[in-house]
């Protein structure tokens, strides 16, 4: 059951990324770009989670997961703070 949930989380993040970047291409609203970039990195974070817990349980992916989560949060914060419109 855990594998199903992890894969659904990856697919959901990927779908959000795709929808946000698609909306950005149509509207050129910069906050959509930063949100899409955040979700792209969150997709990578969810992939690290799947690799950590299921595929390679003996290898610790926690540093990669923490760095990618921090980077995703920084991208979204940058977009929220510095993009004015």
pLDDT per residue of the chain (85 residues) written in tens, 0 to 9: 999 999 999 999 999 999 999 999 999 999 999 999 999 999 999 999 999 999 999 999 999 999 999 999 999 999 999 987 6
Question: Which residues have a Cβ under 8 Å from the Cβ of 54 and sit 6 or more positions away?
Answer: 2, 3, 6
| pLDDT for the residue 84 | 75
| pLDDT for the residue 69 | 97
Contact 52, 61 (CB under 8 A): yes
User: How far is residue 8's CA from residue 68's CA, in Å, rounded to a whole number?
Assistant: 19
| pLDDT for the residue 85 | 64
| pLDDT for the residue 83 | 81
| pLDDT for the residue 42 | 98
The gap between the terminal CA atoms of the chain, to the nearest Å, is 43
């Amino acid at each position: 059951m855990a594998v199903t949930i992890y894969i659904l989380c990856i697919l959901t993040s990927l779908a959000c990324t795709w929808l946000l970047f698609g909306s950005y291409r149509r509207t050129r609203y910069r906050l959509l770009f930063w949100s899409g970039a955040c979700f792209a990195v969150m997709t990578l974070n969810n992939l690290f989670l799947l690799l950590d817990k299921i595929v390679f349980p003996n290898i610790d992916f926690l540093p990669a997961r923490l760095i990618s989560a921090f980077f995703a949060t920084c991208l979204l914060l940058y977009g929220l703070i510095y993009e004015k419109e």
